[in-house]
Amino acid sequence: MKLNLIEKIITNSPVRAFGQKHIEGRLLRKMGSRNEYPLCLEIGCGRGIGAKIIAEQFGAGKIIATDFDPEQIEKAKRNLKPELKDTIEFKVADAMALDEPDEKFDAVFSFGVLHHMEDWKKALKEVARVLKPEGEFFFEELLKPFLDNFLIERLTAHPKGGRFTLQEFKDALSAEGIKIINLKRINNIVILGAGRKQ
């Protein structure tokens, strides 16, 4: 589901970029088990801050960063630093139907994306499909109780089907053969974590 105006302003703001780089990125980096992830995929990359974090903090040699909104991909391409042009490739793609072969990536990243999809389990299936065995999945997701909040419901646009509890998320990962290796939950608001494909 495309972002509404309020979310677009928040997502594309310097505050979000700062938090993603200095808080989420650093927390997630500590949750993985390897020093390097040579080939990475990001789903729902927005304007491309996550891809830069993956390049700079996760030892990625190559990143394919995708979003289904062509406007966000254009923004990401425009913002890309010249020195990262050979490392990051931005392209339009629906995370629920990735045009990538099975078992290609060392790591897949989702910074606040799955809860934007009516069928988030379909995207999770795709994540598991494109990960190599032992590949790692890094995620940051908002939880159902937060998205169901009266004010959040009115200010943002999230599909009903994209709202999940922590237990539902854990069960869905397990169903796709992804074992959680680290997880941090901040109240009933947000989770950050890493899982490994078995």
Q: Which residues in this chain contact ligand SAM in the complex, by CB under 6 A?
A: 1-3, 7, 11, 16, 20, 43-46, 49-50, 67-69, 72, 94-96, 111-113, 116-117
H helix intervals, 35-149: 49-57, 70-79, 120-130, 144-147
Q: Yes or no: say if 29 and 57 are a contact pair by the CB < 8 Å rule.
A: yes
Write out the two tokens for 122: 């379909």
Question: How far, in whole angstroms, is CA 53 from its chain's centroid?
Answer: 12
Phi, psi at residue 177, to the nearest 5°? 75, 25
In the bound state with ligand SAM, the residue whose beta carbon lies nearer, of 54 and 178, is: 54
Q: Least distance in Å: CB of 67 to ligand SAM?
A: 5
| CA–CA dist 21, 156 (Å, integer) | 23
Q: Least distance in Å: CB of 108 to ligand SAM?
A: 12
- Which letter does DSSP use for residue 23 in this model? I
Q: Least distance in Å: CB of 182 to ligand SAM?
A: 19
Q: Give how far Cα 170 sits from Cα of 3, 124, 195, Å.
A: 25, 11, 10
In the bound state with ligand SAM, the residue whose beta carbon lies nearer, of 96 and 183, is: 96
In the bound state with ligand SAM, the residue whose beta carbon lies nearer, of 21 and 170, is: 21
Q: Least distance in Å: CB of 17 to ligand SAM?
A: 8
In the bound state with ligand SAM, the residue whose beta carbon lies nearer, of 2 and 185, is: 2
In the bound state with ligand SAM, the residue whose beta carbon lies nearer, of 9 and 134, is: 9
Q: Least distance in Å: CB of 27 to ligand SAM?
A: 13
